[in-house]
Amino acid sequence: MTNPIDLAARATPAPVSRRIRGLSDRAIAWIFVAPTIFLLLAINIFPLIWTVRLSFTNYAANKPNAEVKWVGLRNYQRILTDDGIWATMQTTAHFLFWTLLLQVVIGFTLAWLINRKFRGNDLLTTLIVIPMMLSPAVVGNFWTFLYQPQIGLVNYVVELLTGTPASSFSMLGPGGLAPWSIIIVDTWMWTPFVMLICLAGLRSIPDYIYEAAEVDRASKWRQFWTITVPMVLPFLMLAVLFRGIENFKMFDMVALLTGGGPGNETLLTSIDLKREAFEKWRTGYSSAYAIILFVTVFGLASIYVKALNKVKER
Amino acid sequence: MKAGHLAASAALALVAASAASAQSKELTLCWAAWDPANALVELSKDFEAQSGIKMKFEFVPWPNFADRMLNELNSGGQLCDLLIGDSQWIGGSAENGHYVKLNDFFDKEGISMDDFAPATVYAYSTWPKGEPNYYALPAMGDANGWFYRKDWFARPEIQAAFKEKYGRDLAEPKTQKELLEIAQFFQGREIDGQTVYGASIFTERGSEGITMGATGALYAWGFKYENTPGKYDMEGAVNSPAAVEGLEFYKELYKTATPPGYDNAYMEQSLDAFKSGQVAMAMNWFAFFPGLYADPNVGGDKIDFFVNPAQNVAASTLGGQGISVVSYTDNMDGALAYIKWFAQPEVQKKWWSMGGYSCHKAVLEDPGFKDSAPFAGDFLEAMNGVQDFWQEPAYASLLLAMQDRLHNYIVADQGTAQEALDGLIADWTEVFQDEGKL
């Protein structure tokens, strides 16, 4: 049988073939990699460097004719001493902590249950993953109706179960429920993602390990803590990394559900940054804000990835 | 080969020329997506017939209107040849060169700003404020007003219950406090087997809603932006005792007399609440009144209108827009021709008859104007006392600060009215310092 590479080589016109033959492997590798590197530089690296530069100025993108002044670290100083921004960071941290915790606990539990062999297993798995297939815009609008005090299903169910009048409270309104409402929606939407990753982890554990544990008369509880959890942990940590990064930049769903309100109760950093950059047009200031968020996420993610690698090496 | 090149170049030139020609025969007008915009589409058919220029329209829903259009202007986009932009945008659009200054054009074409109501010229056309530098033609006069269920007010049992409780007849409120009493009276009342509520008001947080709603009360109590116009001396004006009282009033109205879950409501929600028979009264822009009056369920005999009640001052929050020529247009002549056509008294009269609120004196000073619609008299009264938000280039930052402070206090129950207004001065001071005005 003729090798397809040989066929391709034979089909290459002689002048081209001669030219390629004159190039080293390294040069050919560069030819292939160069377009990607160029795109990376143009789309990622250059804007990043430009943003860093802008963060030291008073530049406003809506004032093309205004003089751009170098303001040194003033933007950074204003951001780091702004109580409002720290409150926004706290709101984001609260959202991150609870969504990750709930998604890990519920996602792992669901995966553990689904991993058992039973009839309708595949159908149930498909049904569970439906929420994560929906667009965040659809989810935001859909839950806005569910949370509506007068006609929404959520208030109706609460009234049915507790007797609290449906129209006496608002899940997205004042009273402290709004931060929990967005956590519920995000958990509903993304727990299936965590579940799927955990399921992959659970199914990667060879049966013989459990069989050996059975032979050693290890209890189910012990098997769970000494086999299941350690072997699924790298997968779980990966899911937490993905969800953590995604939720740190959460925008669309929360913008649709609450717009950051009531007051600033659900004002996440991404929504706040968008307002500074594209509503107030404080481009220099918002560049500094973006850099601070970038460094925060990058730093935390780096520490986390190191921990993840250590867990994988064990 | 050369002949081939030449033929290709000629064909390309022909295509380019015909495209440019087609472009010059088209105009895109941008505005918000609402009832008056539909009326303008109809009205503009006359312009198309007269000029041979085809009109295209880009209408954006109100919650995204400012974002979408200001992004368009700031990026020097060529989407819009003509823009009916909010009054507050005029400072930024004039200073940043987005709008064409129209003085020379007006002089050349004999268009006089004296032919338009002075309040509308001041609010929609001039920058700096009050200076005779015109960047727009007043296009759509508007103010925040009120409407109510006249049929409910007229019911004998409701009249009697109200008189028993307040010792006076149930009628259109003459003051803000009367309005509150009426709203509280209806709150939670059973009418035709349905629980109804007092009033739908603006509480929206994302764009401008709660500011436009609350300023209706603030202006009525005597709120001012500055002690001396143009000096940015806000201390004692923005946070005056009267302003604090006005803000406390609006919070009470929200807390005690609005439907449940009414914490992020603007024009659409106000209309929905009224049209679905949930509320006895509602605030909204006059622009919606023709549509409400024509509504088969709640319009006609069932509805009536009133101007924003005074408390210490007779005042209404200004809405409305002027029509401007966008500097980046590639059809300047066509855009100016539209302005010239639109400024004609006959066109303005037709504009009013179709549901648009003309600002032309030929319409407003017509002896029959007051009786031409059930809300026409209220509109005139409102326009005589309108007050507008800052029209500074940094208006978006100023507006967002007020949205935050008001929503935090009124809806999210954080702090006091005094703290909200003191904080607002701090926010606005920072903005004006950044702008180099303080």
- Do residues B279 and B294 share a domain? yes
Is residue B330 a contact partner of residue B23, using CB atoms and an 8 Å limit?
Answer: yes
Q: In chain A, where are the structural domains located?
A: 4-54, 79-313
Cα Rg, chain B, nearest whole Å: 24
Question: Which B residues in the span 347-386 are in contact with A, Cβ-Cβ below 8 Å?
Answer: none
Share of residues in chain B with pLDDT > 70 (%): 95
> Which pair of tokens denotes residue B388?
């507008």
The distance from CA A242 to its chain's CA centroid, rounded to whole angstroms, is 5
Chain B residues touching A281 at Cβ < 8 A: 74, 396-397
Contact state of A280 with B70 under an 8 Å Cβ cutoff: no
Which residue of chain A comes nearest to B413, CA vs CA?
Answer: A174
Which residue of chain B comes nearest to A177, CA vs CA?
Answer: B412
ipTM comes to 0.77
What is the rounded average pLDDT of the residues A253-274? 93
C-alpha–C-alpha distance, residues B147 and B285, integer Å: 10
Question: pLDDT tens digit string along A18-28?
Answer: 666 678 889 99
- Do residues B333 and B381 share a domain? yes
What is the rounded average pLDDT of the residues A280-285? 92
Give the pLDDT of residue B20: 47
Residue B238 has pLDDT above 70, yes or no: yes
> Which pair of tokens denotes residue B54?
């085809």
What is the rounded average pLDDT of the residues A233-244? 95
- Do residues B310 and B357 share a domain? no
- Do residues B160 and B230 share a domain? yes
Domain-located, residue B19: no
| B396 vs A168, A255, A279: nearest CB | A279
Residue B414, chain A, CB below 8 Å: the answer is: yes
Q: Which amino acid appears at position A61 of this protein?
A: A
Provide the 8-state DSSP code for A45. I
Chain A residues touching B259 at Cβ < 8 A: 150
Question: pLDDT tens digit string along B62-105?
Answer: 888 998 999 899 889 999 999 999 988 999 999 989 999 999 99
Which alpha helices (H) appear in A59-206, and where do they start and end?
A: 74-80, 83-114, 121-133, 136-146, 153-162, 178-203
Question: pLDDT tens digit string along A135-167?
Answer: 999 999 999 999 999 889 999 999 999 999 998
Residue B435 has pLDDT above 70, yes or no: yes
What is the rounded average pLDDT of the residues A61-79? 91
Domain-located, residue B247: yes
Give the pLDDT of residue B67: 87
Chain B residues touching A276 at Cβ < 8 A: none
Residue A4 has pLDDT above 70, yes or no: no
Q: How many structural domains are present in chain B?
A: 2
Where is the domain boundary, B387, B405, B421?
Answer: B387
- Do residues B244 and B117 share a domain? no
Question: pLDDT tens digit string along B157-179?
Answer: 999 999 999 999 999 999 999 99
> Which pair of tokens denotes residue A181?
């409402």
Give the pLDDT of residue A117: 80
Q: Supply the mean pLDDT for chain A.
A: 91
| B74 vs A61, A173, A282: nearest CB | A61
- Do residues B267 and B227 share a domain? yes
Which residue of chain A comes nearest to B96, CA vs CA?
Answer: A63
Where is the domain boundary, B387, B402, B424?
Answer: B387
Domain-located, residue B37: yes
What is the rounded average pLDDT of the residues B228-241? 95
Residues present in chain B in total: 438
Nearest CA of chain A to the CA of B134: how many Å? Answer: 20
Nearest CA of chain B to the CA of A277: how many Å? Answer: 11
Domain-located, residue B415: yes
- For chain B, give me the number of helices (H) and strands (E)? 19, 12
Give the pLDDT of residue B3: 47
Domain-located, residue B2: no
What is the rounded average pLDDT of the residues A270-274? 95
Residue A282 has pLDDT above 80, yes or no: yes
The CATH number that applies at residue B174 is 3.40.190.10
Residue B113 — φ and ψ, nearest 5°?
-70, -15
Q: At what angle do helices B345-353 and B35-51 cross, to 10 degrees?
A: 140
Give the pLDDT of residue A136: 92
Nearest CA of chain A to the CA of B266: how many Å? Answer: 13
Cα dihedral across residues A74, A79, A80, A84: positive or negative? positive
Contact state of B261 with A167 under an 8 Å Cβ cutoff: yes
Ordered DSSP codes for A128-171: HHHHHHS-HHHHHHHHHHHT-TTT-HHHHHHHHHH---GGG--T
C-alpha–C-alpha distance, residues B414 and A116, integer Å: 50
Give the pLDDT of residue A22: 76
Q: Supply the mean pLDDT for chain B.
A: 93
Domain-located, residue B11: no
- Do residues B180 and B124 share a domain? no
Residue A96's pLDDT band (cuts 50, 70, 90): very high
What is the rounded average pLDDT of the residues A59-82? 91
Q: Among B403, B8, B286, B325, which Cα is nearest to B135's?
A: B325
Residue B2's pLDDT band (cuts 50, 70, 90): very low
Is residue B177 a contact partner of residue B311, using CB atoms and an 8 Å limit?
Answer: yes
Is residue B123 a contact partner of residue B386, using CB atoms and an 8 Å limit?
Answer: yes
Provide the 8-state DSSP code for A216. T
| Lowest-pLDDT range of A49-63, B9-23, B132-146, B258-272 | B9-23
Cα Rg, chain A, nearest whole Å: 26
What's the domain range around B357? 26-142+319-387
Give the pLDDT of residue A6: 66
- Do residues B265 and B341 share a domain? no
- Mutation target to probe the B interface, by most B beta carbons within 10 A, among A254, A280, A282, A285 is A280
Contact state of A265 with B412 under an 8 Å Cβ cutoff: yes
Which residue of chain B comes nearest to A69, CA vs CA?
Answer: B434
C-alpha–C-alpha distance, residues B121 and B161, integer Å: 46
Domain-located, residue B331: yes
For B291: left if phi > 0, alpha if psi spans -120 to 50, otherwise beta; the answer is alpha
Give the pLDDT of residue B1: 41
Where is the domain boundary, B387, B408, B426?
Answer: B387
Nearest CA of chain B to the CA of A273: how many Å? Answer: 13
User: Does the domain formed by A79-313 have CATH 1.10.3720.10?
Assistant: yes
- Do residues B138 and B149 share a domain? no
Is residue A194 a contact partner of residue A187, using CB atoms and an 8 Å limit?
Answer: no
Give the pLDDT of residue B26: 93
Question: pLDDT tens digit string along B111-160?
Answer: 999 999 998 999 999 999 889 999 999 999 999 999 999 999 999 999 99
Give the pLDDT of residue A63: 82
| A65 vs B97, B394, B409: nearest CB | B97
What is the rounded average pLDDT of the residues B18-47? 84
Residues present in chain A in total: 314
Provide the 8-state DSSP code for A44. I
Nearest CA of chain A to the CA of B435: how many Å? Answer: 10
C-alpha–C-alpha distance, residues B347 and B402, integer Å: 38
C-alpha–C-alpha distance, residues B183 and B201, integer Å: 11
Question: Which B residues in the span 59-88 are in contact with A, Cβ-Cβ below 8 Å?
Answer: 67, 70-71, 73-74, 76
| Lowest-pLDDT range of B153-162, B343-352, B392-401, B420-429 | B392-401
C-alpha–C-alpha distance, residues B112 and B114, integer Å: 5
Exposed/middle/buried for B210, CB within 10 Å: 0-12, 13-18, 19+? buried
- Tell me the three state secondary structure of residue B143: strand
Exposed/middle/buried for B227, CB within 10 Å: 0-12, 13-18, 19+? middle
Chain B residues touching A63 at Cβ < 8 A: 95-96, 393
Share of residues in chain B with pLDDT > 90 (%): 86
- Do residues B381 and B405 share a domain? no
C-alpha–C-alpha distance, residues B338 and B331, integer Å: 11
Which residue of chain A comes nearest to B399, CA vs CA?
Answer: A280
Residue A119 has pLDDT above 60, yes or no: yes
Nearest CA of chain A to the CA of B337: how many Å? Answer: 28
Q: How far is CA B123 from CA A202, B213, B321, in A?
A: 67, 18, 8
Domain-located, residue B170: yes
- Do residues B291 and B350 share a domain? no
> Which pair of tokens denotes residue B184?
């509280």
C-alpha–C-alpha distance, residues B113 and B359, integer Å: 10
- Do residues B306 and B267 share a domain? yes
Which residue of chain B comes nearest to A264, CA vs CA?
Answer: B408
